[in-house]
Chains A and B, each alone.
Chain A
Amino acid sequence: METIIDIEWVLACYVDDVPENGGVCMKHGHEQIAIYNFSRRGEWYATQNLCPHKQQMSLSRGMIGSAGEACEPKVACPFHKKTFSLLSGECLSGDDYKIKTYPVKVTDGMVYVGVA
């Protein structure tokens, strides 16, 4: 048996709109989604924009980077520097938070975010 998950790809912006090794925020209905251009690694990520620690719409303005030997990609909230894995959404600062992550694809200079 094969499970098919319907992903709707929503156009977010042009590649050039997102700063290198930085993020932007996209509006999707009432949701705010943070998109990260991890250009140092040629990777793209997306998460919820809301930092669960103090409920601030802020993650797209955070610094990205890596943690540990495995170089887990992460983002740090600009408010209190809680960090979250861009892969799993788990909080890496020892708290019990988890943020939502979204798939990203880039085609012809356009960035799309997959929403379920």
Chain B
Amino acid sequence: MSKPTIIVVGNGMVGYKFCEKLVAKSSAFNIIVFGEEPRRAYDRVHLSEYFAGKSADDLSMSSASWYADHDIQLHLDDPIQEINRANKTIHSLKGVTLGYDYLVLATGSSAFVPDIPGIEKEGVFVYRTIEDLELIKAYAFNAKNGAVMGGGLLGLEAAKALIDLDIKQTHVIEFAPRLMPRQIDAAGSAMLQSKLSALGLNIHLNKSTARIAGDHKIEALQFNDDTLLAVDMLVISAGIRPRDELAKLAGLQVGTRGGIMVNERMQTSDDSIFSIGECALFDDMIYGLVAPGYEMAEVVVAQLIGTDKAFHSFDMSTKLKLIGVDVASFGDAFIAEPACRTIVFEDTHKGVYKRINISNDGKLLLGGILVGDADAYNMLLQTVNNKIALPPNPEDMILGLRGGEQSEGAGVMSLPDDALICSCEAVSKGTICGVVNDGATSLDTIKKCTKAGTGCGGCMPMVKDLLAGTMKANGQYIKNVVCEHFDYSRQELYDLVKINKLKNYDLVLDHFGKGDGCETCKPLVASILSSLWNDLIVKQDTIQDSNDRYLANIQKGGTYSVVPRIPGGEITPEKLITIGQVAQKYGLYTKITGGQRIDLFGAHVSDLPLIWEELIDAGFESGHAYGKALRTVKSCVGSTWCRFGLHDSVSFAIEIEERYKGLRSPHKLKGGVSGCIRECAEAQSKDFGIIATEKGWNLYICGNGGSKPQHAQLLAADIDSKTLIKYLDRFLMFYIKTADPLTRTATWLNKMEGGMSYLKNVIINDSLGIAEQLEEEMQLLVDSFHCEWKEVVNNPALRSRFTHFVNAPGEKDPTVKFEGMREQVKAVW
């Protein structure tokens, strides 16, 4: 007996997801897919990333071989023209006629284009497909001013795209009196508007367009109030229109304002034809988000394999980042007093607006809106969906607890089992905890088993908390073990390696590990070995992390960047000239780094030893920019030149950088020295910061820039240079010995029981009795410093490792390509 045939009309996100869900559940069907576009289904939600550097392939939902691997026939660039319901056949543009048992219409939607005089002019675009984007991109090249018609979610996405295309003046034209009228209220919109205006977007509300002016191409928009806006191009994003023309032609019932009518089983008026996604009209509503589309796909799959599942009105809560601004709306966002009570928090300084609507009895959360800071979204949404009783002070939910401690992750664990954690893939808390109970111990495994977090990824922090919480509840000892190969924490392994005097990775693995190692434990052990013995890392090159392997930072396209050490940021004219000459000779892109050094990009792997040979000849040393090691000690010019300077900050920065250069640690280390309280070296944002005072130096530790900036805290005030170095020795060595892998000093301190007062006690009062030992261990590392690049340059065997092709050593990777940019080069890839 042959398998029943399912023909899927449309290869968008939902059409693809239907195939994925069906093949995962059953192999009893013969699946044939027709798509109108020339490429496989791609991620339309992240379309604007196409302009931010993602390729069409990056956005693809599946690999090229996926359809073939699952025996699915895929016809691209071939839209279905006709359905013959009597004979149960379809007919395509390219002339394919096939019979079906079931038909799934996933034809999606097209951009709604309003009927405005002049809309056909050159320079007017819609924003829907990769082809549309390519047209926009080509045209934007010669455009200075651009406008987007529509201030909704998609319109703002399109505006982001224009900004990414370097359009100088980008305008958003909205007919309604506020932005995103379907998601947020007037106050939220005002906040969003002021944030977006600050980012350079010109927003025009209450504007309806009367005419598109221009000769044959667009030159201006004329509005109903007779004002004129000169633009070179226009992108229309004024809503979507369901693609129901094929269904209409086949005599299926469609809505008066468009959309293929379906019941709760996604059946159309013909029960062997289903419709899903943005073309389907359920209960008088078109669902223009991807999550309900996936849910519809799931419902159809359930019908086909004989289980029962119905579609109910779908939660349209959403959280997104628009041009860098968080916007979220959840539950009943617009319900207002007297039907509920509303708590509003507004901070015009930071551009944050939060509103929650709670029931009149104060027990339940009904919905709300977040603009500018949507960190609380996941928990708020869960509280609405699961009807969780509100705390006595519900304002805490948007303001955070003020004072008092909160145990991390407890919030998520208190949710009921059916709480939906991943709404893209409809994965509940129960499902996630279930796989953890069945032995999953990593996020990757959970992703693989449940698909949670594989859509927008917004639920990952909750999944992580669930993993930790469930393991803890099961009495599983959550030790921060290194990876599957070592049952120890980094600190334990550090001690074991030290006591047993192990000097290479294989010995460590044989003694204390199992299996053959991996990309997690190899660099970690490499770092421990360096921190303990300070051997040349290239002797064990294959356990080093990507950048350490070639003593340079791997960059897009596979070339490397080179950073010579410039201690304290002080450099002679002669050395500057050398850097310029080397960069010229090897065709490198040069840029000043944040740490007062010069980075040279675009070096072929085989050129690295040649480049370094020249740099070393001129007196340079490795800058260790590739290592989890001390990077730079930034300095201001200090008392030698500055009229405010109290001490010579440059000399001291150089002394400190020379002392700790190349020091391997759990994560990178940065320092700074400022000559006075004006703090021009920004020392308080560093792992250690030193600021001159009238009486000596203040030492600050555990500061951090990066994604979670944190100011360094004062460890000791008004100390002399010698004491300062003693304290620094103790601090750095204690960090190196006890921190978890890839943990910066700030996070290390935040996790430390007792915090700063404990650390002060260890470093200054020697409460653990280890101060002397820490100083000795540091002195050993200082004394055994070597420039890694000098060793490589002078060792022919090590040098020969720096080749791309083993069988053609002189040849460079032909796939590396550059193009010009502002008189320099950049990688093409």
CB distance from B639 to the nearest CB of A (A): 45
Question: In the complex, are the beta carbons of A38 and B516 less than 8 A apart?
Answer: yes
Question: In the complex, are the beta carbons of B558 and A63 less than 8 A apart?
Answer: no
Distance A65 CA – B309 CA, assembled complex (angstroms): 44
A83-B519 CB under 8 A given contacts A20-B542, A55-B57? yes
Residues of B in contact (CB 8 Å), total 44
Question: In the complex, are the beta carbons of B518 and A74 less than 8 A apart?
Answer: yes
Question: In the complex, are the beta carbons of A35 and B806 less than 8 A apart?
Answer: yes
CB nearest to B805 among chain A residues: A27
B811 within 8 A of A: yes
Count chain B CB atoms within 10 A of each CB in A22, A52, A94 and give the residue with the most. A94
Count chain A CB atoms within 10 A of each CB in B506, B523, B546, B806 and give the residue with the most. B806
Chain B residues near A17 (CB, 8 Å)? 806
Distance A96 CA – B518 CA, assembled complex (angstroms): 21
Chain A residues near B522 (CB, 8 Å)? 63, 65
A78-B554 CB under 8 A given contacts A40-B516, A54-B58, A65-B516? yes
Count chain B CB atoms within 10 A of each CB in A12, A22, A52, A68 and give the residue with the most. A22
Question: In the complex, are the beta carbons of A25 and B805 less than 8 A apart?
Answer: yes
Give the contact stretch, choosing among B60-68, B324-332, B343-351, B704-712: B60-68
Determine which of B58, B546, B556, B829 lies in contact with A61 in the assembled complex, contact meaning CB atoms within 8 Å: B546
CB distance from B485 to the nearest CB of A (A): 8
Question: In the complex, are the beta carbons of B515 and A56 less than 8 A apart?
Answer: no
Determine which of A25, A41, A76 lies in contact with B518 in the assembled complex, contact meaning CB atoms within 8 Å: A76
Question: In the complex, are the beta carbons of B558 and A57 less than 8 A apart?
Answer: yes
CB distance from A89 to the nearest CB of B (A): 11
Determine which of B541, B542, B558 lies in contact with A56 in the assembled complex, contact meaning CB atoms within 8 Å: B558
Chain B residues near A58 (CB, 8 Å)? 554, 558
Question: In the complex, are the beta carbons of B807 and A94 less than 8 A apart?
Answer: no
Question: In the complex, are the beta carbons of B554 and A79 less than 8 A apart?
Answer: yes
Question: In the complex, are the beta carbons of A26 and B806 less than 8 A apart?
Answer: yes
- B-contacting residues, A15-70, CB 8 Å: 17-22, 24-27, 32, 35, 38, 40-41, 52, 54-58, 61-68
- A-contacting residues, B536-574, CB 8 Å: 541-543, 545-546, 549-550, 554, 556-558
Contact with A along B790-814 (1 / 0, CB 8 A): 0000000000010011111001010
Distance A56 CA – B807 CA, assembled complex (angstroms): 20
Distance A65 CA – B522 CA, assembled complex (angstroms): 9
Distance A109 CA – B55 CA, assembled complex (angstroms): 42
Chain A residues near B523 (CB, 8 Å)? 63
Question: In the complex, are the beta carbons of B807 and A27 less than 8 A apart?
Answer: yes
Question: In the complex, are the beta carbons of B543 and A63 less than 8 A apart?
Answer: yes
Distance A12 CA – B808 CA, assembled complex (angstroms): 10
Distance A91 CA – B485 CA, assembled complex (angstroms): 20
Chain B residues near A87 (CB, 8 Å)? none
A105 within 8 A of B: no
CB nearest to A83 among chain B residues: B519
A79-B546 CB under 8 A given contacts A13-B806, A26-B807, A27-B805? yes
Distance A98 CA – B545 CA, assembled complex (angstroms): 23
- A-contacting residues, B811-829, CB 8 Å: 811, 813, 815-816, 829
- A-contacting residues, B491-516, CB 8 Å: 506, 515-516
Question: In the complex, are the beta carbons of A98 and B807 less than 8 A apart?
Answer: no
CB distance from A74 to the nearest CB of B (A): 7
Chain A residues near B63 (CB, 8 Å)? 52, 96-98
CB nearest to B60 among chain A residues: A96
Distance A27 CA – B546 CA, assembled complex (angstroms): 22
Distance A32 CA – B807 CA, assembled complex (angstroms): 11
B134 within 8 A of A: no
Determine which of A19, A41, A97 lies in contact with B801 in the assembled complex, contact meaning CB atoms within 8 Å: A19
Determine which of B55, B519, B807 lies in contact with A62 in the assembled complex, contact meaning CB atoms within 8 Å: B519
Question: In the complex, are the beta carbons of B813 and A57 less than 8 A apart?
Answer: yes
A56-B829 CB under 8 A given contacts A17-B806, A76-B518, A93-B444? yes
Question: In the complex, are the beta carbons of A65 and B519 less than 8 A apart?
Answer: yes
Distance A86 CA – B811 CA, assembled complex (angstroms): 26
Chain B residues near A26 (CB, 8 Å)? 805-807
Question: In the complex, are the beta carbons of B57 and A78 less than 8 A apart?
Answer: no
CB distance from A84 to the nearest CB of B (A): 11
B182 within 8 A of A: no
B214 within 8 A of A: no
Distance A93 CA – B484 CA, assembled complex (angstroms): 15
Distance A62 CA – B556 CA, assembled complex (angstroms): 15
B458 within 8 A of A: no
CB distance from A10 to the nearest CB of B (A): 9
A61-B550 CB under 8 A given contacts A19-B801, A40-B506? yes
A12-B65 CB under 8 A given contacts A54-B58, A66-B515? no
Question: In the complex, are the beta carbons of B518 and A19 less than 8 A apart?
Answer: no
Question: In the complex, are the beta carbons of A25 and B542 less than 8 A apart?
Answer: no
- B-contacting residues, A67-116, CB 8 Å: 67-68, 71, 73-74, 76, 78-79, 81, 83, 93-94, 96-98
Question: In the complex, are the beta carbons of A94 and B447 less than 8 A apart?
Answer: yes
Contact with A along B21-32 (1 / 0, CB 8 A): 000000000000
CB nearest to B829 among chain A residues: A55
Chain B residues near A94 (CB, 8 Å)? 444, 447-448, 454
Could you name 15 residue pairs across A and B whose Cβ atoms are closer than 8 Å?
A: A22-B542, A32-B815, A40-B517, A41-B516, A56-B557, A56-B829, A64-B542, A65-B485, A65-B518, A65-B522, A66-B517, A76-B519, A79-B546, A94-B447, A98-B63
**Interface residues of B, Cβ cutoff 8 Å to A:** 55, 57-58, 62-63, 65-66, 444, 447-448, 454, 484-485, 506, 515-519, 521-523, 541-543, 545-546, 549-550, 554, 556-558, 801, 804-808, 811, 813, 815-816, 829
Q: Beyond the given A11-B807, A41-B516, A73-B516, could you list 12 further A-B residue pairs with CB under 8 A, ordered by the A residue number?
A: A13-B806, A25-B806, A27-B811, A35-B806, A38-B516, A52-B63, A55-B57, A63-B523, A65-B515, A65-B516, A78-B554, A83-B518
**Interface residues of A, Cβ cutoff 8 Å to B:** 11-13, 17-22, 24-27, 32, 35, 38, 40-41, 52, 54-58, 61-68, 71, 73-74, 76, 78-79, 81, 83, 93-94, 96-98
List 6 A-B pairs, minimum CB-CB distance, nearest first: A22-B542, A78-B546, A65-B518, A76-B519, A66-B516, A24-B806
